[in-house]
Structure 1
């Protein structure tokens, strides 16, 4: 598997683009590399001399293309739509500057032990691999844990699949309940009868988002708060590392339950659009001298008031800058200028 280390450690990063959306499994990796190189050498695609193509990479469906000239990389990015026309079905590509895409790769650890009594875990993992080939799975541990890596959308699909399997198993267990047991419960239970209201309406609508996308959505635009206010909805936010789960409930006691679904759909649509627009640059603070750390922080704070569409997240070990490809590039360039360093 190819590495992007040589790109990061050289000035080639300015001449390198990130190509996402490559069809996985349609052709061999070698053939796909040739197709990618041919596409970006074509003048009609804004291309030019390709110096290197890195594929496969740690993220499935993503390649790194380095051109001989920086201006060629910029021309390719300006061309909004790119298709690999040589495929049976033309594959639309997403092109961006060489900077970490917010959704490019997410790592997560799953605990599948909860399924152990209902289904064979190895069989479950094999089903998931077939269902979502874009994900990378580590070997299944004895305790039922497994590590996965892939795009956030792929991990979101995985979560939805597991929730569906859990719901299906729960329903099967209910159906196994004997008529006698069911009758005894209905005639002897002191608990009030269950409401006919669907479960989703009582619990609210749940939505899973990438944490960086959610923070950008919440902090840089009024869309999130205005949507909740417009539909009289409340939202419980649970941040778990790279993933944030939203539980959307009606603030008016369920008088208009459809509001929850509308809010979910609007936020989901908006965040999906951000997935293709946002990029993330990171300043590493760990290992640097205190003076250099302070200079980087001050530069970021100074520029954040000018770049209102850029989200700056300060952490102990690093600083994340999230925004459009052009904004993050210019922001980083100005930070480097302020601290008297060249953009690398």
Structure 2
């Protein structure tokens, strides 16, 4: 592949490195010495790599440094019961967040949604607000019904069959007292472990955070630490952390080492990461049973991974 992209017939030039395999199946990263060469390669409409089995067609595009680009979720809208026409709700969601892709609504109320993490986050906030407003309406209806029942018990009995079906989901208590913030877990871990902004902001505004990590999503509940604290401190902290996390979302890149195969290989990868980590203080390393994630700037993660692979090759010799 390297020789192909260095060939001038293919609009190529000097290639500094080819990263393959990557965490995305079937994707390779080709790093050119000159930006102009990369642009020429992209302008060429067709790229075919000759293999023993025949020609392999390549799709070439710019590398997007915004790694946390797509999230897929399955929504169960049936929890809204009979209070909402689900088709209308889906139409509203499409209008409110046009960047999301929706699958057809299933008969059981389920629907698949795909889009950026930030778009999914907006979707969650919209649905929480919707659920909250329906709960308030339901409470109001029940309280009015209780008043009428005290005034006219018979009328209340006649109307009981038409009462509104109670909404099953409950909005978390933190949504009503304090502020709730939802972040990508990788962003949150980097924010907490590699940035002083998180802890310093909490101390500055005298707030406490309850953090709940649930896979790729982390929910942060922000509350005042002192009774005398200003009530808008919670909102200010939420806005500040949200703004900072958005900036990280655009700047950070994630690489993954998959711990498959021989035990020695996995052990060597872990050892190499630990050995190199002291030279990359702004790179976050998350160790898991099946893989290792490294998160940092585009240049740092690239150099970090390159050094790990070089150490691995040295140990194999």
The two structures have a TM-score, normalised by structure 2, of: 0.71
Report the CA distance between 1:243 and its aligned residue: 0.9
Please tell me whether the aligned partners of residues 174 and 221 of structure 2 are also in contact (alpha carbons under 8 angstroms): no
Superposition pairs of residues 160-239 of structure 1, within 5 angstroms: 160-177=125-142, 179=144, 181-182=146-147, 203-239=177-213
Please tell me whether the aligned partners of residues 100 and 113 of structure 2 are also in contact (alpha carbons under 8 angstroms): yes
Distance (Å, rounded) in 1 between the aligned partners of 2:110 and 2:122: 18
**What is the CA deviation profile of residues 30-60 of structure 1, one whole-angstrom value per residue up to 9, with x for unaligned ones?**
xxxxxxxxxx98x9xx943426679xxxxxx
Alpha-carbon distance change, 53 to 224 in structure 1, aligned in 2, over 3 angstroms: farther
SS of corresponding position for 1:237: strand
Alpha-carbon distance change, 8 to 178 in structure 1, aligned in 2, over 3 angstroms: closer
Query: Aligned pair 1:298/2:268, yes or no?
Result: no
Report the CA distance between 1:128 and its aligned residue: 1.8
Query: Aligned pair 1:144/2:144, yes or no?
Result: no
Alpha-carbon distance change, 296 to 320 in structure 1, aligned in 2, over 3 angstroms: same
Alpha-carbon distance change, 161 to 179 in structure 1, aligned in 2, over 3 angstroms: closer
Q: Choose from 121, 133, 157 the match for 2:122.
A: 157
The two structures have a TM-score, normalised by structure 1, of: 0.66
**What is the CA deviation profile of residues 118-150 of structure 1, one whole-angstrom value per residue up to 9, with x for unaligned ones?**
112233223323332322334444543333221
Superposition pairs of residues 104-143 of structure 1, within 5 angstroms: 104-143=69-108
Report the CA distance between 1:202 and its aligned residue: 6.2
Q: Choose from 260, 263, 285 the match for 2:237.
A: 263
Look up the match of 2:61: 65
**What is the CA deviation profile of residues 298-341 of structure 1, one whole-angstrom value per residue up to 9, with x for unaligned ones?**
11111112111111111111111111111111111111111018
Superposition pairs of residues 88-103 of structure 1, within 5 angstroms: 96=64, 101-103=66-68
Structure number with bigger Rg = 2
Structure 1 residues not aligned, in runs of 5+: 16-39, 55-62, 67-94, 186-198
Query: Aligned pair 1:272/2:250, yes or no?
Result: no
Distance (Å, rounded) in 2 between the aligned partners of 1:201 and 1:254: 20
Structure 2 residues not aligned, in runs of 5+: 1-20, 47-58, 151-172
Alpha-carbon distance change, 121 to 236 in structure 1, aligned in 2, over 3 angstroms: same
Greater percentage in helix: 2
Please tell me whether the aligned partners of residues 222 and 238 of structure 2 are also in contact (alpha carbons under 8 angstroms): yes
SS of corresponding position for 2:289: coil
Superposition pairs of residues 76-87 of structure 1, within 5 angstroms: none
Distance (Å, rounded) in 2 between the aligned partners of 1:301 and 1:271: 26
Look up the match of 2:294: 321
Please tell me whether the aligned partners of residues 252 and 295 of structure 2 are also in contact (alpha carbons under 8 angstroms): yes
Alpha-carbon distance change, 169 to 289 in structure 1, aligned in 2, over 3 angstroms: same
